[in-house]
Amino acid sequence: MGGAAGGSIQRGHDPSEASMLDTLRVATEIMAPTVATGVIKRRPRVMAANEKLGADRNAIELAQQLRERYGPGPLRLRMPGRSVALVLSADDVGTLLAGSPDPFTPASDEKRASLARFQPHGALISQGSARTRRREINEAVLDTPKPLHRLAAQFTTTVREEGDQLLLAADADGELSWSAFNRAWWRVVRRVVLGDAARDAETVTDLLASLRRSANWAYLGRTDTDAREEFDRGLRRHVDRAEQGSLAALIADSGDSDEATAQVPHWLFAFDAAGMAAMRTLALLASHPEPARRATAEVDKVDEGPAPLPYLRACVLDTVRLWPTTPALLRESTLSTMWGEKPMPPHTTFLIYTPLFHRDSRTLPYADRFSPDIWLDGTARRNPALVPFSDGAGMCPGRNLVLLLVSTMLARLLESHSYQLTSDTRLDSEQPLPATLDNFTLRFGLTPR
């Protein structure tokens, strides 16, 4: 691989061109199920159907077969009027993410079409100097590099309080269900982002959910401008309160509160994925005795304050490796790029289908196993394609905050109870894990420890 030369960039593998039939298979077996599940807001019914049909497993196997047939270079698809390539090698994933935002911008056409409906000024769909500024604001408020956010003490208290309430209700119900957990999780999210006064402000997050549902349709359909204006007004009211101990207070101190407020819809939207990751991690711990023993031992060693909880964080990271909440990472080239000996035109969309790399049974001994240790012993760091939070300059700026809140919630749950998975989908530590895990139907029995 070499550097930039005359507007082109020399890169790894030669691309190849898919046949019409294989293009059709990629469109129907990889792209369509991903889009149908809801890229911006998951559709529970489609998720359940995908789980039943094994759609994700089928998609991973197809991508593996295509790599064997066409070689590791990006596979150009025959899409009328568009240049689209499916990425097939881990090195090329590394190249694309290291080359973001220029010449490989995260602000692809598809993402702009959908996310602009509720976060037109979000960093992810911005370019040039606007992107730089918005990225900086995200990092400043979210304390991106810090394992413990500067407000970690308040956030930990919030998570523990909501965890206490959740467990009281679960003890009374005799089970912990996804819907009970999700309600508690959104209380945590509203308190952390907007302040305690927003704990029960469901209208604002419900409005966002409805805007996100319409964003699932990307180029199709239209935005409900009334809902959008109502959401913006409601959000502004909460952010303007700048309640101490919440991200809203940091927005007020950021020096550009308008620009910082414009990032909040993305934060709220992305916390959905964190709730899904929390419940899926609990499902893994409920079915894997040795990791559960190690997680509980870690929890028993810490007190109520904020703690780094490295093992629990590794469990969460491995959960989002196994079931990535952003399975399609898109990058669009801003100029002509060279791959091996061949050029690819500007405005090529590169599709990184992360389950291919996270679950690659041909190359990873741990592909379908719960393996938190790979996040602790350097194994994950050496693989450029294990990217549940992306990588490079477009890496998720909320990664550490997510790991703090989710690990703290799991610590609270594990501190006082043990869990048995009672939903239909059973996970077995002796069997390969399924490629899809429907979070909406997860249910647990619980026993006081």
Which residues contribute to the site for ligand HEM (CB under 6 A)? 106, 123-124, 135, 138, 142, 266-267, 270-271, 273-274, 277, 320, 325-326, 329-330, 388-390, 394, 396-398, 401-402
Dihedral class, residue 157 (left if φ above 0, else alpha if ψ from -120 to 50, else beta): alpha
User: Smaller CB distance to ligand HEM: residue 352 or 446?
Assistant: 352
Token pair listed for 66: 């295509």
Q: How many residues does the chain have?
A: 449
Structural element, H or E, at residue 316: helix 310-322
Give the Cβ contact number of residue 78 at 10 Å.
Answer: 16
Sign of the CA dihedral 337, 342, 345, 349?
negative
Rounded CA-CA distance 265/197 in Å is: 18
Q: Which residue is nearest to ligand HEM (CB)?
A: 398
Write the burial class of residue 20 (CB in 10 Å: 0-12 exposed, 13-18 middle, 19+ buried).
exposed
Rounded CA-CA distance 338/7 in Å is: 10
Nearest approach in angstroms of CB 271 to ligand HEM is 4
Nearest approach in angstroms of CB 376 to ligand HEM is 18
Coil, strand or helix at 136: helix
User: Smaller CB distance to ligand HEM: residue 279 or 446?
Assistant: 279
Rounded CA-CA distance 328/350 in Å is: 10
- Asked if 354 contacts 326 with a C-beta cutoff of 8 angstroms, the reply is yes
User: Smaller CB distance to ligand HEM: residue 70 or 397?
Assistant: 397
User: Smaller CB distance to ligand HEM: residue 37 or 390?
Assistant: 390
Q: What is the DSSP letter of 77?
A: E
User: Smaller CB distance to ligand HEM: residue 329 or 446?
Assistant: 329
User: Smaller CB distance to ligand HEM: residue 70 or 323?
Assistant: 323
Token pair listed for 321: 């490796």
Nearest approach in angstroms of CB 403 to ligand HEM is 9
Nearest approach in angstroms of CB 129 to ligand HEM is 14
Rounded CA-CA distance 19/282 in Å is: 43
Nearest approach in angstroms of CB 154 to ligand HEM is 15
Rounded CA-CA distance 40/118 in Å is: 11
User: Smaller CB distance to ligand HEM: residue 268 or 446?
Assistant: 268
Nearest approach in angstroms of CB 390 to ligand HEM is 4
User: Smaller CB distance to ligand HEM: residue 359 or 446?
Assistant: 359
User: Smaller CB distance to ligand HEM: residue 16 or 100?
Assistant: 100
Nearest approach in angstroms of CB 228 to ligand HEM is 19
Nearest approach in angstroms of CB 448 to ligand HEM is 29
Nearest approach in angstroms of CB 218 to ligand HEM is 14
Nearest approach in angstroms of CB 343 to ligand HEM is 24
Token pair listed for 355: 């389950």
Give the Cβ contact number of residue 356 at 10 Å.
Answer: 26
Q: Which candidate, 89, 111, 109, places its Cα nearest to that of 339?
A: 89
Token pair listed for 428: 């077995």
Nearest approach in angstroms of CB 17 to ligand HEM is 25
User: Smaller CB distance to ligand HEM: residue 49 or 395?
Assistant: 395
User: Smaller CB distance to ligand HEM: residue 142 or 413?
Assistant: 142
Please give the full DSSP string across 374-440, using - where no structure is assigned: GGTSSHHHH-TT--TT--GGGS-TTHHHHHHHHHHHHHHHHHHEEEEE-SSS---TTSPPPS---GG
Coil, strand or helix at 160: helix
Residues paired with residue 183 on neighbouring β-strands, in sequence order: none
Question: In whole angstroms, what separates CA 139 from the centre of its chain?
Answer: 17
